[in-house]
Amino acid sequence: MIKLSSLFGLSLRSLLAICLVQSLVSCANIVPPSGGPRDSIPPYLLVAKPKDSAINVQPKEIWLAFDEYITTTSIQENVIVAPSLKNNPLISSKLNVLRIRISDTLLANTTYSLQFGNSIKDVNEGNIAENYTYAFSTGDKLDTGSLEGTIQLAETGLVDSTLLVVLHPAGTDTAIFKNKPLYYTRLNKNGKFKFRFLPNSAFNIFVLPNDFTKKYDDSTKLFAFADTAINTTTQKDAIKLYAFQAYKKTEKKKSTPLVSGKKDTKQTVTAIKYNKSLEGLDQDLLIPLSLTFETPIQLNDSFPIQLCDTNNLPVAGYKIILDSSTKQKITIEYPWVEQTKMHLIVPKNSINDSLKNTLAKSDTLRFITKSTSAYGASLIRITGYQQFANPILLLTKDDKILFSYPIIKNLLTIPLLPPNEYTLKILEDRNGNGIWDTGKYDTLKIQPEIVHVLKDNLLIKPNWENELNLTINK
C-alpha cells in the first residue's frame, strides 16, 4: 500500500481509522490492494483511544489504529506491561486495529506503558514497527523517568539478547529472590535496553533469563546486578552490566534401574573404546595428546600407559593425567620436539571401568610430531593495556579459548601458533590467577571478572612472522 504524505491524505486516513475503531466488529474481511512501489516504511499509529500519553484515564479497553493493515507475531506473549499486571491483557488485531482488554484494577496515580517490541508489522512487506510503546497515566501526570544501558556476558564479552532487565524498589535487596518485578524490559540484538515512563525513584537493577518466575531462584541462571541502587532522577550515563553464572549446570547421571526377579549371575563384558586427539598420524606441538572415553574409567598402575621412542623405550619427562571431574579423558603431557616419531603404548589392562571392562586388546599408537614450519609466529605491539588489572590476551575461535598470554609489556612475541584467524579478547584478571572467575550475589556481592572483545583479529599464516599493532580501549 502507498502511504499518503499530504495533509489531506493524512486527515482522510485518520478519519477512516476512527471509523474502523468504531465499527470494526461489523466490518467484512478486506484484501489489501497490491501493486505500486515497494513499501519500506513500517506502520505507524494514526489514532488511539484513549489517546497515546493520556492522563487521568482508567481504561478497560485500548484501541490502536495504524496507517495500514497489520499483522502480529505472538503479540500476546511479547507485549510487556509496566508496571506488571496480575492478569495479562487480552490482545486481538483486525485489519489495521489492535484491541487491548484489561481486566485488572489499575493503580492510582501510576503511569502504565505497553511495549510491543517487534510484534507489529505491516501485511504487505512485513515492515516491523520496532519497539513501539503506548503509555497512559491514571493520575494527572505522565512519569518521564528513564534508564538505559547495555548487558554483556562477562565470560565471553558477547551478547545474549534473550535476557531481561528487571527493576525492584531500592531497599528491598531480597525482592529478586521472592517477588516478580513491577518493571522489566527486553534487550535488543546489540544487548541494549531502555526503560521509559518510570516514576522518579530509586531501583535495584538486575538481569535474568526470560522465564516464568523472573526471580533469581537458581544460581545456575545467567544473572547480573548493579552494585548500588539507580535513581531515575540522577542517573544520566548509560548503565553497563555483566551477566554470569555463579555455578555451571551439571547433568545428573542416569542411574541404572533395578530389575526385580531372579538375579542374573552372568555379566556382559564389553570392550572399552576411546578416541584419540591425533590429526591422522600427526601430534600438535602445542597441546597434549589426549584419549577420550565414552564412560568413566580408572587407571591401573600395575599396567601403566607409557610414552616411548620408536624402540618402545620410555622417554623421560612425560605425565599421564586422568581428568578428575569426568574420569573420561586422559592427557599425555610432554615437551614435544618437532619431527619426532614416537609410540604411545596402552596395555589392555591399563584401563578399566566400574564393571571391570578393559580394552579389547593392547594398543600402540604410532605418531610423529609436527614440523615448526606448519606454524606461524606473531609479533603483537600493544598499547592501552595499562588501564586493565592483570590483563590477559585471549586467542579464541568459535567462542573457545585456544591460547592465553599475560600482557606485562607493550611487545608480545609468540613463537608458534597454528594457522587460523583468531578473535582477540582481553580478560581483566583481577585476582591474578590466570583464569576467568565468576561472580556471586550473596552477602559479599562479588562482580565477575570481565572479558572484552577486541575489534582486531589475528590472522596467522604458516611459516610466517605475522605482525599486529593492537590498540585496546574499554
Average pLDDT over residues 287-293: 96
Task: Convert the pLDDT of each residue in 319-340 to its tens digit.
Answer: 999 999 899 999 999 999 999 9
Q: What is the pLDDT of residue 139?
A: 97
Q: Is the pLDDT of residue 451 over 80?
A: yes
Same fold? 7-137, 145-243: yes
Q: Contact 383/471 with Cβ under 8 angstroms?
A: yes
Q: Is the pLDDT of residue 6 over 80?
A: no
% of the chain exceeding 70 in pLDDT:
88
With CA atoms as reference, report the closest residue to 230 among 213, 207, 212, 209: 207
Question: Is residue 369 classed as helix, strand or coil in its secondary structure?
Answer: strand
Q: Which three cell numbers stand for residue 13?
A: 486516513
Q: Is the pLDDT of residue 101 over 60?
A: yes
Report the C-alpha gap between 139 and 159 in whole angstroms.
38
CATH architecture of 274-370: Sandwich (2.60)
Whether CATH 2.60.40.1220 fits 7-137: yes
Chain position carrying cell 601430534:
283
Q: Which three cell numbers stand for residue 423?
A: 578473535
Please tell me what DSSP assigns to residue 220.
T
For the chain, how are helix, strand and coil distributed in percent, rounded to 5? 10, 40, 55
Task: Convert the pLDDT of each residue in 192-248 to its tens digit.
Answer: 999 999 999 999 999 999 998 999 999 999 999 999 999 999 998 999 999 999 999
Q: What is the pLDDT of residue 34?
A: 53
Count CB-CB contacts under 10 A for residue 226.
18
Residue 175 contacts by C-beta under 8 Å, 6 or more apart in sequence?
168, 169, 181, 204
Q: What is the pLDDT of residue 33?
A: 52
> What are the phi and psi torsion angles at 45 (to 5°)?
-75, 130
Please tell me what DSSP assigns to residue 54.
B
Chain position carrying cell 466488529:
25
Average pLDDT over residues 153-178: 94
Measure CA of the first residue to CA of the last residue in the chain; give whole Å. Answer: 46
Confidence tier at 254 by pLDDT (50, 70, 90): low
Largest CA distance in the chain: 95
Q: Is the pLDDT of residue 14 over 80?
A: no
Count CB-CB contacts under 10 A for residue 179.
14
Q: What is the pLDDT of residue 455?
A: 94
Q: What is the pLDDT of residue 315?
A: 97
Q: For 24-89, where are the alpha helices, taking DSSP H only?
A: 75-78
Report the C-alpha gap between 329 and 272 in whole angstroms.
13
Q: What is the pLDDT of residue 7?
A: 32
Please tell me what DSSP assigns to residue 221.
S
Q: What is the pLDDT of residue 172?
A: 84
CA 51, distance to chain mean position in Å, is 38
Whether CATH 3.40.190.10 fits 145-243: no
Question: Is residue 104 classed as helix, strand or coil in its secondary structure?
Answer: coil
Q: Which three cell numbers stand for residue 36?
A: 505500486
Report the C-alpha gap between 91 and 72 in whole angstroms.
10
Strands 465-471 and 376-383: parallel
Q: Is the pLDDT of residue 256 over 60?
A: no
Whether CATH 1.10.150.120 fits 375-471: no
Please tell me what DSSP assigns to residue 14.
H
Q: What is the pLDDT of residue 15?
A: 46
Task: Convert the pLDDT of each residue in 387-420 to its tens digit.
Answer: 999 999 999 999 999 999 999 999 999 999 999 9
Would you list the domain boundaries of the chain? 7-137, 145-243, 274-370, 375-471
Which range has the worst mean pLDDT, 63-67, 74-78, 338-342? 74-78
Structure pTM?
0.82
> What are the phi and psi torsion angles at 248 (to 5°)?
-80, 145
Q: Which three cell numbers stand for residue 284?
A: 600438535
Q: Contact 193/146 with Cβ under 8 angstroms?
A: no
Helices vs strands, H then E, count in the chain: 3, 34
C-alpha triplet 317, 323, 327: angle, nearest 5°: 135
Q: Which three cell numbers stand for residue 274?
A: 576411546
Q: DSSP readout, 388-454? A: SSSEEEEEEETTEEEEEEE--SSEEEEEEE-SEEEEEEEEE-TT-SSS----B-SSS-BPPP-EEEE
